[in-house]
């Protein structure tokens, strides 16, 4: 009979860490705002999620401010 394999490291409890390193911000959106974001997504040539669209719109707004 062969030797049994022993695990020397303990498993961490809880959920594994996410891959994102940024700060999470929660927002509430009105239906009209969501509809406008969804329309902006539909106009674009690339498929993106609402979160990606909001990040892109913020980026565009900050560039326009300069």
Whole-angstrom distance, CA of residue 38 vs CA of residue 50? 7
Which pLDDT score is estimated for 1?
64
Instruction: Name the band, by pLDDT with cuts 50, 70 and 90, for residue 19.
Output: low
pLDDT at position 5 over 80:
no
Displacement of CA 28 from its chain's centroid (Å): 16
pLDDT at position 66 over 90:
no
* Token pair recorded at residue 15: 């959920």
Contacts of 46 (CB under 8 A, 6+ apart): none
Residue 45 Cα distances to 42, 48, 55, 59, 60, angstroms: 8, 9, 17, 18, 16
Total-model pTM: 0.64
Which pLDDT score is estimated for 54?
95
């Amino acid at each position: 009979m062969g030797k049994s394999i022993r695990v020397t490291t303990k498993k961490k409890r809880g959920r594994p860490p996410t891959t994102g390193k940024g700060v999470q911000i929660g927002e509430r959106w009105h239906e009209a705002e969501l509809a406008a974001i969804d329309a902006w997504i539909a106009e674009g040539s690339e498929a993106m999620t609402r979160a990606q669209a909001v990040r892109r719109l913020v980026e565009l707004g900050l560039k326009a401010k300069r």
